Amino acid sequence: MRIRAITFDLDDTLWPIAPAMLRAEQRLNAWLGAHCPRAAQAYPIDAMRALRDRVAQEHPQIAHDFGAQRRLALRAALLPHGYGEDEVAGAYTAFYAARNEVECYADALPALDQLKARYPLGAITNGNADLDAIGLRHYFRFSLHASDFGSAKPAPDIFLAACAQLGLAPAEVLHVGDDPALDVVGAHQAGLRCAWLNRGEATWTQLGFAAPTAPDLVIGDLAQLVEMLARSEAVA
Ligand SMILES: [Mg+2]
């Protein structure tokens, strides 16, 4: 496999997103308790989560923009209780800061250090992680966020835009991600090579996708990716 650049998914590829989201929900709840007590009482964490899910369902046009969904949900929670846009902005800031307090998987940074020395790296995410806030910006030549870009994985556009930024043909770029549909099938359909980061137990076959969408590589962690690429370079 002749790979000339690598793009990475972020959430659940470089760090687990669930603990960060939980912390963000708790931090938001505490912020509301201090600044918007009537809304905090009406929307404890479970109710806020349900509201956010409902807002997302009711506004499919912003399905690619989790930040917009969150701000809309905060407006729906706060404005009827007499709070204003300043409180919406403050609540979002509290949530978003905690959302970016991620803890990378142990294999992530050593792999990025090694891969960055050998390949241009890019990030392609449907989420709203802030690489500057997280402190990982320096690893990546660029990061494409579905919210800024205007469409999300698995549609080919965002993958092709990444290839254009790299000045490479899709077949020269390897996309690495955890999500079978968004990352593997999406990258495959755009013509990229794809590595499925499978930290769980399921096999690709068990997922039931059609055979042509199978990943080029299956890795259990990012250290394996470094090893496999080094081996394939050695025989290329
Ligand atoms: Mg992911």
One-letter amino acid of 62:
I
Give 35 Cα–ligand 1 centroid separation in angstroms. 33
pLDDT of residue 234: 67
State the pLDDT at residue 236.
54
> What angle is formed at CA 171 by the lines to CA 114 and CA 115, rounded to 5 degrees?
5
Share of the chain above pLDDT 70, in %: 98
Span from the CA of 40 to the centroid of ligand 1 (angstroms): 30
- For residue 9, the CA-to-ligand 1 centroid distance in Å is 5
Query: What is the pLDDT at residue 2?
Result: 85
- pLDDT for 159-191, tens place per residue? 999 999 999 999 999 999 999 999 999 999 999
Instruction: Give the residue from 147, 146, 125 showing the smallest Cα distance to 136.
Output: 125
Kindly report the average pLDDT of the chain as a whole number. 95
Centre of ligand 1 to C-alpha 159, Å, is 14
Expressed in angstroms and rounded, the spacing between residue 12 Cα and the centre of ligand 1 is 4
**Ligand 1 mean position, distance from CA 11 (Å):** 4
Q: Tell me, what's the pLDDT at 129?
A: 95
Q: What is the mean pLDDT of residues 36-42?
A: 97
Report whether pLDDT(70) > 90: yes
What is the percent of the chain with per-residue pLDDT over 90, rounded to a whole number?
A: 88
- Contact at 8 Å (CB) between 16 and 200? no
Place of tokens 């499925």: 196
* pLDDT tens string 91-139: 999 999 999 999 999 999 999 999 999 999 999 999 999 999 999 999 9
| Tokens 């690709």 found at | 204
Distance 92 CA to ligand 1 centre (A): 22
CA atoms within 13 A on the CB side of 96: 20
| Residue 10 CA, ligand 1 centroid: distance in Å | 6
What region, left, alpha or beta, does residue 208 occupy, with left being phi > 0 and alpha being psi -120 to 50 degrees?
left
Based on the number of CB atoms within 10 Å of its own CB, is 152 exposed (0-12), middle (13-18) or buried (19 or more)?
Answer: buried
Nearest Cα residue to 8 out of 100, 105, 148, 98: 105
Strand pairing class (217-219; 193-197): parallel
CA of 17 to the centre of ligand 1 (A): 8
Give the pLDDT score at 208.
Answer: 86
CATH of domain 17-99: 1.20.120.1600
pLDDT at 213: 84
| Reported confidence tier of residue 144, pLDDT bands at 50, 70, 90 | very high
Per-domain residue ranges of the chain: 5-16+104-235, 17-99
Rg (CA), the chain: 19
What's the pLDDT score for residue 235? 62
> Is CATH 3.40.50.1000 the right assignment for the domain spanning 5-16+104-235?
yes
If 0-12 CB within 10 Å is exposed, 13-18 middle and 19+ buried, where does residue 209 land? middle
Please give the Cα distance from 174 to 148 (Å, whole number): 22
Ligand 1 centroid to residue 47 C-alpha, Å: 25
Residue 31: is its pLDDT beyond 60? yes
Q: What is the pLDDT of residues 201-227, one digit of tens each?
A: 888 888 888 777 889 999 999 999 999
pLDDT for position 212: 76
pTM over 0.85, yes/no: yes
Sign of the CA dihedral running 133, 102, 170, 232:
positive
